[in-house]
Amino acid sequence: MKTTRTYKMGARAETVADTRRRIIEALFDLGRERMFPDISLDDIAAGADVSVQTILRHFKSRAGLVEATMDHAIATVTEERHAPVGDVEAAVAVIVAHYEDRGQTALLMLAQESSDPQVAELTRRGRVMHRTWVTDVFAPFVGPRDPLIDLLVVATDVYTWKLLRIDRGHSRARTEQLINRMATTLLEAARHEGESS
């Protein structure tokens, strides 16, 4: 009897977790294509195949859902951007692949940050995440307080990808090559500066 009850409680917890995940992923997916203010709870409910009441039962409010989705977004993107430490070429390949998949979404979020405080918080966290990524990936070459970090952040930023890939119309391979060249040039210049001082 106790085993059956434990099993039912475990299955219910799994169902609750699955419902929450589907709701979060529905908003996450809708946010790839549309401005957050244009996404209604009805849209999210349809995407997750639940009712609006179910969303509110799980997250209390739209703001609560957005906050949970931000946590999910940061965790997902952090995992997607995992790159080998000290391998510049591989790291650039990872970041360009990430921008190819999510760059337009990042640009859409950045376009909303001045008008939506929750999106502004997400983009702030995204900037911190990117800086941490740069600091970690390039750790064998620079310290966390090295001014070179700022330049490497810029060289590998989504706006740099946009300028090369979208504005200049370069291929993905050429964009990757140019970003790699920028990062390598910065690191070589810093190394020569260190040797001569």
- Rounded to an integer, the average pLDDT of 7-21 is 78
Kindly report, residue by residue over 21-48, the tens digit of the pLDDT: 999 999 999 988 888 888 999 999 999 9
What's the pLDDT score for residue 2?
Answer: 54
Question: pTM, whole model, 2 decimals?
Answer: 0.84
In a domain, 75, yes or no: no
Does the pLDDT value for residue 10 go beyond 90?
A: no
Domain encompassing residue 96: 81-197
Total domains, the chain: 2
Q: Are residues 59 and 154 in the same domain?
A: no
What's the pLDDT score for residue 28?
Answer: 92
C-alpha–C-alpha distance, residues 155 and 130, integer Å: 11
Spatial neighbors of 78 by CB under 8 A, at least 6 apart, are 129, 133
Residue 191 pLDDT grade (very low, low, confident, very high; cuts 50, 70, 90): confident
Does the pLDDT value for residue 87 go beyond 90?
A: yes
| Residue located via tokens 């740069």 | 134
3-state helix, strand, coil split of the chain in percent (to 5) is: 80, 0, 20
Q: Are residues 91 and 64 in the same domain?
A: no
What's the pLDDT score for residue 4?
Answer: 57
- Rounded to an integer, the average pLDDT of 155-179 is 98
What's the pLDDT score for residue 196?
Answer: 62
